[in-house]
Structure 1
Amino acid sequence: MAFSVKDEATDTAVRRLAKLKSKSLTDTIREAVEHEYQRARGEVPLTERLEHLSERYRAFPASGVQADKAFFDDLSGDA
């Protein structure tokens, strides 16, 4: 099986990394893809990352006070 890299910047990047690590192009690509795969698998989905923040927000009691639109418009320069 073979891959054909038709992007010069990608080819250059892979060759630079291979030279830096003294590895073949195949080993360099395999290692880079495996590292990225492991990193991506370990990522916590955004919904889970925001859950704690959402819980904290919901814990605040409702104040019953309405936002002053004119005040916020003035702050943002939309007066």
Structure 2
Amino acid sequence: MSDDTRSEHDGEERLFELSRDKLLLAAILVVGIAGSGIVRRLLGELGYNDLGALVFMLGYGGMIFAIWYGWIRPMDITGPN
């Protein structure tokens, strides 16, 4: 029975199917947003507010670059000929 259902979805990726790429994307988002935000707050409480802001900007910017480089850049986004 599982072979029949798998053959129906050959070539189609299910939206909520957990894959390695989706886990990596989620990890990058969590580290880039929450991780750098937590480090920024801790550095701010220790009196290193400017360093915390720099860490947050580098973490958030690095996350955006990683998502662009890994997922958006390889897409073939072209219109019809």
With normalisation by structure 2, the TM-score equals: 0.32
